[in-house]
Amino acid sequence: MVSCQPSHSKTPASWSRESILIARGHGPFPSYLYRFRLHHSDICACGEKGDHLHYATSCHMMLSYHFTKSSAENTQLLWKSLLSNKLSRINIAKLISFLTENENLIKQPPDATSSIDFDPDFSPSPRPQNYGLRPSRGSIT
């Protein structure tokens, strides 16, 4: 008799929380936070769209965390290759930790936002956010 149930591995996935966040585009990225009105704009402080691919490959403030940028059609292949490499996953965790700890450095100030991107009714959340991330070791919360 043939089983109709899909088979699943009983071994746990080797992806860290940070790897999952960056692969899905979630986390302390202006483009993600802007969707939930937790940030006034989706633009990085350097002037480009502040998404996960930007911080991992082209933001000049994240040079020590950069990965090689691929063409648009190979973006999924890039993430697959990065997330299957243990050293890359460690660097991704460091990148997410840096972004979380230094949010004020990577976000574009409200007065620098163009009138197209700026929402005059925007009011950020009054309480500090950790965006689902655990505090890093040694930080005081």
Residue 66: helix, strand or coil by DSSP?
Answer: coil
Residue-level pLDDT at 113 = 46
Going from N- to C-terminal start, the domains of the chain cover 17-106
- Give pLDDT tens digits along the chain (141 positions): 445 455 556 655 667 888 888 888 898 899 998 999 888 899 988 889 999 989 899 988 888 888 888 888 888 888 888 888 999 999 999 999 998 888 877 766 666 544 444 455 555 554 455 555 555 555 444
The pTM score is 0.64
Number of Cβ within 10 Å of residue 132's Cβ equals 10
Residue-level pLDDT at 123 = 53
